[in-house]
A and B are shown apart, each in its own frame.
Chain A
């Protein structure tokens, strides 16, 4: 009987083998990352991919020639800024409704080409409010945002910023006094978004399409998703800034697929998710948006 049991155990013995695979690791691809909007100078980040098993850092591509075109008219050349690692031009700011093209030339790579159009219409938040609820004994923020959808096919990204109070604690008087505040991105989650919408991996923004509320208003509620380290989570913030970005379709697909890849990484049953790219002869994203904001102060 004992031998029988041992043999039964052997049946489900699985084995692991480290294997060398014949994957194409020879040529790193150039990676262009550029998200542009009318409120910032035009800048892009250029690096190269690395073999999946490489442990080292991602390598920045320096010394490339980066030309920018607006509606096919040459605007100028972006120059590498070693303090930010971006290629940029401080006089160039994208304009709404304009089409921008980037062409990157660097020896050893095929020319990298990408283009995007900054959406014309500004997205609109018609209502925004903040309240708080008691969840598992902790007071937490809850946010409500109503979007006025624009005509046609649209894609949005919702981002929440908050001013975090910097407090100084006086041990003698045992009183905390606000000495400053800093602007941070605030993490949140929601339960009422539909399957097509997706929270980005950093949990501080949502991308969504309007295909189920086209031409209508759409109200979303968000919950505070910060870690529950302190007893009262609703006293550290003074002001919230709701930002609604009207983004290009490429941007939506990129953020959505990137987030999806992140979320299913440990799910053995899910099919792998390739990340969307609109970069010809390379990887990454070159996309544009315009943004409207609404400020809500906490009393």
Chain B
């Protein structure tokens, strides 16, 4: 009996110790990078084949996976890269930095990561690989990130050629466009035809249009998170392109061993330089006129240790349209010399300093200091000097108008991953805004100086959030959290509590059902006449008179990966928005006198629709099909007589089909076809006599104009929009690297797509509707290189 107890006791001890050993958990953490360039891979999958538990790398490439002490078969994978599988016995915390190798022939790769579309809790999120963005056909050969995003379901392009984004019925101001974590306020060059993002300097683009995790806030409709490359840590590399309108060059490499790397990228258009000799010769050298834009991106990062990294990044971009005219001439008793100069300029400056710190393998932090400035300037200067025999008479006048916004910000974000069932994020941030909502200044040597317009306003915005990505069971995952924010402007203090929740339930057949609810608040407004992202649009704060914007969005969807290559998602959404602003009827930014608050109306809106997205990210053929069926409406008490009206970019059907086909190692062909229901516009349907003119009807030979009658605001739809873009690229390996010729056409079958419609009256009084179109077929050729 005694021996029985001994055996039982020993057995129990052994069992207990083995259970304890089994229950003990350790953490594997590290960074995932491109093996060739050292560039971090964002959203790479890491999972253990033994128990199907996994995680993904964050936007700094960091991952953390806590598993029970046991044998593990860890797989690291990322789209377009050869997966790595490693086997070992986990019995202590381990740091494991992994470099994945890019592959050319994607067909061979089977992405075995568990984080496929049906696995991810987050819905309404799309990642487009940068290589795919760069392979798409582009207007004038200028690869444009935002224009590619316009081809996704739920995202509309606004007007022809513009890079504005209208996401799920929201306005362009409702998109939080982040470049390395810093908000970009005007992402357009050349009146919206190009965006400010140089694709060569970009590592990752992520778009979220619904089901926003709690870590994001400040805008109603989307988050477009663009991460710049860090710079190659192996050797000096470069790439560039020479195109019809611009050229660009990107250089990157290590500064000192592998710890410090840099990236520098520049782009400039040269229409002005090409045209300058022609203009000079045509005007006898008296006149200079031109337009150009440039971008400069720079980034330096330094790795102090595996626990501490610092990143400094900046963007400088400017558009400049200018003309200078000077003349000298002789009169009877004096000579005159005059100078006339006009300048229209706008641009962004963005800077960020970030510090990553790994407290321990489960606890990651990032501190960011940001600066963002957007400024729009129009100026005209005139000077005249009259030289007499015994005296000199001169006068000077200058008029300038400027508007803009400037932010200083600080934020700290924490990520805590206690085990594979929880991914906790929390943080706080603060932004100091300065708004300049349009000031006109007149200075003269002969008249008194005058300054009119709206006052400069400062405001402070604060936010904090907490979210957890919870794995409830193998089938059910929930991301729940809240975002609280506050805005202080003048004597007003606005606060907002925004709950967020998203869930996915995985069915046995690999299909997942997803649902989400997000409440969003936005304390800044964009006052726009054009709706196409002109530089004249004004950024304005919520004030005592103009409340912040708010939105509630519900989304429900299905997701499934078919045959390992095709990600299919179907989503329905409903969004309500309040606190929207519009110019009062008849008001425009041209009326600079008076306060902007007197020129706006506030109202509400709703939008709802269904989106289908089929994407193929791997293989010789990649691309996607997107279809959106949607409605978007607005209601303002003092517009359209208080009745609901369609939003200007309410688009019932929106289809995009894109494809990139890699014929062989040297040739790739790409195409994009888009179709969209015509935009809504306001047109008069009839005219009628007004009270002041009725007496004129007594005179038979005079027909008064009367007044125009508009059935309803945005009550007419322009013709539908469709366009086919094609491109073919020829690559060749050279001793120094790779060169590529790209030939493409924009609007290949030259559709006269409507830009706007106006009623035109000729000298004989005949009226007609005239439709204006922008681009017929536009061929493009560019030469790019990489070394």
Task: Please report A residues at the B interface, Cβ cutoff 8 Å.
Answer: 1, 4-5, 7-8, 10-11, 13-21, 23-25, 28-29, 31, 33-35, 45, 47-58, 60, 84-86, 194-196, 200-202, 254, 257-258, 260-264, 267, 269-275, 283-285
Chain B: minimal CB distance from A274 (Å) = 5
- Expressed in whole angstroms, the Cα–Cα distance for A1 and B710 within the complex equals 50
Contacts of B530 in A (CB 8 A): 269
Contacts of A24 in B (CB 8 A): 685, 711
Q: Which of B244, B690, B759, B775 contacts A258 (CB 8 A)?
A: B690
13 extra interchain contacts, Cβ-Cβ under 8 A, other than A53-B767, A284-B691?
Answer: A5-B278, A10-B778, A15-B773, A17-B752, A23-B683, A49-B687, A52-B759, A57-B700, A58-B703, A195-B598, A201-B692, A272-B585, A275-B708
> Can you show 15 pairs from A to B with CB atoms below 8 A apart?
A8-B271, A15-B772, A17-B771, A25-B686, A52-B683, A52-B686, A52-B708, A54-B687, A56-B703, A258-B690, A264-B586, A270-B586, A271-B713, A274-B709, A283-B688
**B661-705 CB contact bits vs A (8 Å, 1 = yes)?**
000000000000000000000111111111110100110100110
Q: Tell me if A274 and B716 are in contact (CB < 8 A).
A: no
Q: Does B588 make an interface contact (CB < 8 A)?
A: yes
Contacts of A262 in B (CB 8 A): 707
Chain A: minimal CB distance from B761 (Å) = 9
Known: A10-B778, A14-B772, A267-B588. A23 touches B685 (CB 8 A): yes
Known: A271-B529, A271-B585, A284-B691. A25 touches B685 (CB 8 A): yes
Q: Does B322 make an interface contact (CB < 8 A)?
A: no
What is the chain B residue whose CB lies nearest that of A283?
B688
Q: Give the interface centre of B530, B582, B692 by most chain A CB atoms within 10 Å.
A: B692
Q: Tell me if A58 and B767 are in contact (CB < 8 A).
A: no
Q: Does B766 make an interface contact (CB < 8 A)?
A: yes
Q: Which of A4, A58, A257 contacts B688 (CB 8 A)?
A: A58
Q: Tell me if B716 and A21 are in contact (CB < 8 A).
A: yes
- Expressed in whole angstroms, the Cα–Cα distance for A272 and B583 within the complex equals 11
Q: Which of B683, B759, B770 contacts A16 (CB 8 A)?
A: B770
Contacts of B765 in A (CB 8 A): 55
Q: Does B304 make an interface contact (CB < 8 A)?
A: no
Q: Does B738 make an interface contact (CB < 8 A)?
A: no
Q: Tell me if A20 and B710 are in contact (CB < 8 A).
A: no
Known: A45-B694, A53-B769, A264-B588. A11 touches B778 (CB 8 A): yes
Q: Tell me if B689 and A31 are in contact (CB < 8 A).
A: yes
Q: Tell me if B688 and A50 are in contact (CB < 8 A).
A: yes
Q: Does B599 make an interface contact (CB < 8 A)?
A: yes
Q: Tell me if A55 and B688 are in contact (CB < 8 A).
A: no
Q: Which of B588, B706, B708 contacts A58 (CB 8 A)?
A: B706
- Expressed in whole angstroms, the Cα–Cα distance for A47 and B685 within the complex equals 17
Q: Does B774 make an interface contact (CB < 8 A)?
A: yes
- Is the interface on chain B under 10, 10 to 19, 20 to 34, or 35 or more residues? 35 or more
Contacts of B683 in A (CB 8 A): 21, 23, 52
Contacts of A54 in B (CB 8 A): 687
Chain B: minimal CB distance from A190 (Å) = 13
Known: A52-B708, A195-B598, A273-B585. A17 touches B689 (CB 8 A): no
- Expressed in whole angstroms, the Cα–Cα distance for A253 and B357 within the complex equals 62
Contacts of B563 in A (CB 8 A): none
Known: A14-B772, A195-B599, A272-B682. A85 touches B694 (CB 8 A): yes
Known: A13-B776, A28-B686, A51-B685. A19 touches B590 (CB 8 A): no
Q: Does B589 make an interface contact (CB < 8 A)?
A: yes
Q: Does B641 make an interface contact (CB < 8 A)?
A: yes
Known: A49-B687, A269-B590, A284-B691. A20 touches B769 (CB 8 A): yes
Chain A: minimal CB distance from B235 (Å) = 35
What is the chain B residue whose CB lies nearest that of A7?
B244
Known: A55-B765, A85-B694, A261-B586. A21 touches B686 (CB 8 A): no
The 6 A-B pairs of least Cβ separation, nearest first, read A49-B688, A260-B586, A269-B529, A269-B588, A195-B598, A49-B686
Q: Does B245 make an interface contact (CB < 8 A)?
A: yes
Contacts of A258 in B (CB 8 A): 690, 692, 707
Q: Which of B245, B684, B755, B771 contacts A272 (CB 8 A)?
A: B684
Known: A14-B774, A271-B582. A21 touches B689 (CB 8 A): no
Q: Tell me if A274 and B585 are in contact (CB < 8 A).
A: yes
Q: Tell me if B244 and A8 are in contact (CB < 8 A).
A: yes
Q: Which of B529, B684, B692, B755 contacts A52 (CB 8 A)?
A: B684
Q: Tell me if A19 and B769 are in contact (CB < 8 A).
A: yes
- Expressed in whole angstroms, the Cα–Cα distance for A270 and B775 within the complex equals 24
Chain B: minimal CB distance from A291 (Å) = 16
Q: Tell me if A33 and B694 are in contact (CB < 8 A).
A: yes
Q: Give the interface centre of A11, A20, A45 by most chain B CB atoms within 10 Å.
A: A11
Contacts of A84 in B (CB 8 A): 698
What is the chain B residue whose CB lies nearest that of A265?
B708
Chain A: minimal CB distance from B722 (Å) = 16
Known: A267-B590, A272-B710. A33 touches B690 (CB 8 A): yes
**B614-643 CB contact bits vs A (8 Å, 1 = yes)?**
000000000000000000000000011100
- Expressed in whole angstroms, the Cα–Cα distance for A84 and B594 within the complex equals 43
Known: A18-B768, A57-B697. A270 touches B529 (CB 8 A): yes
Q: Tell me if A260 and B585 are in contact (CB < 8 A).
A: yes
- Expressed in whole angstroms, the Cα–Cα distance for A55 and B711 within the complex equals 20
Q: Tell me if A57 and B703 are in contact (CB < 8 A).
A: yes
Q: Does B10 make an interface contact (CB < 8 A)?
A: no
What is the chain B residue whose CB lies nearest that of A267?
B588
Q: Tell me if B770 and A17 are in contact (CB < 8 A).
A: yes
Known: A55-B766, A58-B703. A274 touches B685 (CB 8 A): no
- Expressed in whole angstroms, the Cα–Cα distance for A20 and B582 within the complex equals 30
Contacts of A33 in B (CB 8 A): 689-691, 694
Q: Does B587 make an interface contact (CB < 8 A)?
A: yes
- Expressed in whole angstroms, the Cα–Cα distance for A73 and B604 within the complex equals 42
Q: Tell me if B773 and A261 are in contact (CB < 8 A).
A: no
Q: Tell me if A19 and B586 are in contact (CB < 8 A).
A: no
**B706-726 CB contact bits vs A (8 Å, 1 = yes)?**
111111010010010000000
What is the chain A residue whose CB lies nearest that of B770?
A16
Contacts of A261 in B (CB 8 A): 586, 707-708
Q: Give the interface centre of A34, A47, A285 by most chain B CB atoms within 10 Å.
A: A47
Chain A: minimal CB distance from B718 (Å) = 9
Q: Does B526 make an interface contact (CB < 8 A)?
A: no
- Expressed in whole angstroms, the Cα–Cα distance for A33 and B704 within the complex equals 15
Chain A: minimal CB distance from B648 (Å) = 10
Contacts of A60 in B (CB 8 A): 697
Q: Tell me if A5 and B274 are in contact (CB < 8 A).
A: yes
Which residues of B, 717-762, contact A by the 8 Å Cβ criterion?
Answer: 719, 752, 754-755, 757, 759
Which residues of B, 384-435, contact A by the 8 Å Cβ criterion?
Answer: none
Chain A: minimal CB distance from B11 (Å) = 84
Q: Which of A18, A31, A34, A48 contacts B769 (CB 8 A)?
A: A18
Chain A: minimal CB distance from B360 (Å) = 56
Contacts of B779 in A (CB 8 A): 7
Chain A: minimal CB distance from B75 (Å) = 49
- Expressed in whole angstroms, the Cα–Cα distance for A285 and B690 within the complex equals 8
What is the chain A residue whose CB lies nearest that of B585?
A273
- Expressed in whole angstroms, the Cα–Cα distance for A28 and B585 within the complex equals 25
**B572-588 CB contact bits vs A (8 Å, 1 = yes)?**
00000000001101111
Contacts of A21 in B (CB 8 A): 683, 716, 757, 769
Chain A: minimal CB distance from B585 (Å) = 4
Q: Give the interface centre of B590, B755, B759, B769 by most chain A CB atoms within 10 Å.
A: B769
